[in-house]
Amino acid sequence: MIKKVLLVSVVFLGLLGQGLAQTRSLTLDEMFQLADQNNNRIRLYDLAISEAEQGVKVACNDRLPSIQAHVELNYIGDGVMTDRNFAHAVHADMPHFGNSFVLKASQVIYAGGAVAKGIERSKLQKKEAELEYVENRQDIRFLLAGYYLDLFQLNNQKRVYESNISQTRLLVKDMKASYRQGTALKSDITRYELQLQSLELSLTSVKDKIDVLSHKLATAVGLEPDVLILPDTTELLKFNVENRTEEDWLLEIHHTPSVRLADIRIEQEKNKQDLIRAERRPKISLVAANDFTGPILIEVPPLNNNFTYWYAGVGISYNIDALFKSKRKLKQAQLATRKMEEARRVAEEEAENDIHAAYVNLNEAYIRLRTQKKSVQLAHENFNIVRQRYVNGLALITDMLDASNTQLDMELQLANYQIGILYQYYLLKKLTGNL
């Protein structure tokens, strides 16, 4: 019997340990660090940066000399010689083994700026990839912050519901005692028991929402999906929002990822114009080659010998059609540049509007919080007064229900307004690229 009890105890403790292992308390900064390491979308944009870095190295290869080697072995059939009217055919013996080896090296010394502009374009693509990474990471962090604050809010609601359920149970207990003494009605007890059932159902709904949000957070930061994440309430409650004016926030518009991306895309379009202009310029390169060929078939009869020669010099090439083809391409690139400049102004305007709206909402959230704290205080005082009057037979059960519901609503709204301040603050940081 003792062994069975010990075995059950060990199993229970093991299950309890597993249950505790499924819960993890995280600060918001820890969430961000885990997301940087494990989030799939962030890793995707990180790979895009690596790809762009490699693109810069590839573009730099255009500065290196070009070396080509060509080897050819072939079988040569016998020849036939005829008159111009294809009469009097004469068979001509040919050496049957042919070989060719060509080694050629060239070095571009002037390409109208195409090589330098090509490298610059790759570097701009790398900057674009880096800014897209920053912008995506800001979006992911704000999404995680929203989930995290929602989770904090739901846990607050859970505590409020649990407190109200505990309070309601005490009221039901007191009413049952009063009913036995003949000072309370059965209908009063029934109403509060219905109230209790409603509160318990709401609590279940909140717990389910906590489970769903925790699952999303755990997946986003690379934890096991069944890990229950608990927000670090100590950190959030002690967190001080920066006291900054709207002008301070607006000064950072030029550093926002969307505006900086627009700047990079303008530079890319200007770079495209330079590449088109480079097509109008000649290309000059140094060339050196060696040709080793056999047999010599240009002689009649052909000579079964190898012939080798080398040469070195300067090569100049020019695309004449670029004089009339590039005009339209350049016009298109100039229009694209103007479009990107307009897009940049739009991005700046949208960022300014978003920052203004978030700042106004932040101030409103402070006012709502101050007002709600006073409302909660009044709701508690009202509930205590109504309860005392009900105990003394001076109030109806409906008055008690109204006071209880009002108290619950005020407490839930207070939790929402506390989170609202942090949400608007993190939105401002995200809009200015500082989250």
pLDDT in tens, 284-341: 999 999 999 988 888 878 888 898 989 999 988 888 888 888 888 889 989 999 999 9
Q: Are residues 214 and 304 in the same domain?
A: no
Mean pLDDT of 95-103: 91
Please check whether residue 337 lies inside any domain of the structure.
Answer: no
Angle value at C-alpha 290, between 284 and 292, nearest 5 degrees: 150
Length reported for the chain: 435
Mean pLDDT computed over 260-284: 90
Q: Is the pLDDT of residue 5 over 60?
A: no
> Across 269-418, where does the E strand assignment appear?
283-294, 307-317
pLDDT of residue 127: 92
Residues 98 and 116 in one domain: no
Within-domain flag for 324: no
pLDDT tier at 72 (50, 70, 90 boundaries)?
A: very high
Together in a domain, 165 and 185:
yes
Q: Residue 183's pLDDT is what?
A: 65
Same-domain check for residues 49 and 102: no
User: Does residue 6 lie within any of the structural domains?
Assistant: no
pLDDT at site 7: 40
CA angle centred on 418, ends 417 and 423, rounded to 5°: 85
- CATH number, residue 226: 1.20.1600.10
- Classify burial at 406, counting beta carbons within 10 Å of its beta carbon; exposed 0-12, middle 13-18, buried 19 or more: middle
Q: How high is the pLDDT of residue 187?
A: 78
Helix residue spans in 182-309 (DSSP H): 186-220, 233-238, 246-250, 257-278
Question: Quick one: 307 and 259 in the same domain?
Answer: no
Same structural domain for residues 406 and 378? yes
| CB-CB neighbours of 194 under 10 Å | 11
- Give 181 or 30, the one with higher predicted confidence: 30
pLDDT for the residue numbered 20: 46
Q: Is the pLDDT of residue 68 over 80?
A: yes
> Does the pLDDT of residue 19 top 50, yes or no?
no
Q: Are residues 205 and 311 in the same domain?
A: no
Residue tagged 């060339």 (tokens) = 287
Q: From the CB of residue 44, how many other CB atoms can be counted at a distance below 10 Å?
A: 11
Average pLDDT, the chain: 83
For residues 210 and 227, the answer to whether their CB atoms sit within 8 Å is no
Whether 335 maps to a domain, the answer reads no
Domain membership flag for residue 207: yes
For residue 17, name the pLDDT band (cuts at 50, 70, 90).
very low
Residue 402's Cβ-count burial label (10 Å; 0-12, 13-18, 19+) is middle
Q: State the pLDDT at residue 236.
A: 66
Residue 100: other Cβ atoms inside 10 A? 14
Its domain, for residue 94, covers 65-110+283-317
Residues 55 and 104 in one domain: no
Shared-domain flag, residues 191 and 72: no
pLDDT at 11: 37
Q: Number of folded domains in the chain? A: 2
Return the SS3 of 97. strand
CB 162 within 8 A of CB 203: yes
Instruction: Report how far residue 388's alpha carbon sits from residue 382's, in angstroms, rounded to the nearest whole number.
Output: 10
**What pLDDT sits at residue 339?**
92
Which residues are CB-neighbours of 191 under 8 A, at least 6 positions away?
397, 401
Q: Is residue 202 part of a domain?
A: yes
pLDDT tens figures, 375-412: 888 888 888 888 888 777 777 666 777 787 787 778 77
* The pLDDT of residue 198 is above 70: yes
Among 126-130, 280-284, 403-407, the minimum mean pLDDT is found in 403-407
Is there a single domain that holds both residue 257 and residue 300?
no
| Residues 77, 214 within the same domain | no
Instruction: Show the tokens assigned to 263.
Output: 């700047």
Per the CB < 8 A criterion, the answer to whether 415 and 157 are in contact is yes
Please indicate, yes or no, whether residues 125 and 188 belong to a single structural domain of this protein.
yes
* Residue 13 domain flag: no
Phi, psi (deg, nearest 5) at residue 93: -70, 140
What's residue 396's pLDDT?
66
Local confidence band at 238 (pLDDT 50, 70, 90 cut-offs): low
Look at residue 239 in the predicted model and tell me its pLDDT.
67
Band of the pLDDT at 204, cuts 50, 70, 90? very high
Note the pLDDT of residue 164. 78
